[in-house]
Structure 1
């Protein structure tokens, strides 16, 4: 387990160094995760070796939300002061993200000629 955690943290460290050295727009942990996935694809034995520990981490993923909860409690006055604005920003950005996703889906459907899903079902049924 310690070796697996060291491996994961080494990938995170390499990602952090690469992100800062190359001035990438991605955070270091994301770069490290991409490198870890690439390494697991290139060497399946690595994926097999880290699987038990990573599954254990995933089972206790809720523990990683404790620091966020502590942060909310620590900044309660700030949240009370700007809570309405934050809630509106979250709701607005969620609606915009859903609308953008729907728009992209429709654009891709038009480009691929799959505008009417029932037409595809009728053609596939032997029509």
Structure 2
């Protein structure tokens, strides 16, 4: 379990370092996720090591939203004064996130089908 966490954190650190060294307008964690994806695609060993930890994180993902909810509740007065822009931002970002997720799923499904057909 600890090696898997170290691998995940190493990918994030590598992404942060790459983002800062190159000056790319891409966040370090996104670069780290791309590195992790590349590693998972290339190494069955890495997939087996990281899988249990990744599943555990995904099962408890809702806990990561608790600090954001507490922060929002702490700044309720500020949010109330800007209610319309906040609601528009939340609704808009939700629609964009769902759309991006659906498109990513569609692309991934297409890639898996292409790979499966090529392997047969």
Task: Give, in whole Å, the separation in 2 of the partners of 1:97 and 1:91.
Answer: 10
**SS at structure 2 position matched to 1:26:** coil
Task: Give, in whole Å, the separation in 1 of the partners of 2:88 and 2:72.
Answer: 18
TM-score by length of 2: 0.71
Structure whose alpha-carbon radius of gyration is higher = 1
TM-score by length of 1: 0.68
**Residue equivalent to 1:62:** 62
Listed one character per residue, the Cα deviations across residues 49-96 of structure 1 (whole Å, up to 9, x for unaligned) are: 110111111111111111111221222121111012221344467779
- Structure 1: unaligned runs, 5 residues or longer: 99-127
Q: How many residues align?
A: 98
Distance 1:81 1:12, change over 3 A: same
Q: Alignment RMSD, CA only?
A: 2.3
- Structure 2: unaligned runs, 5 residues or longer: 99-120
**Whose RCO is larger (CA < 8 A, sep 6+)?**
2
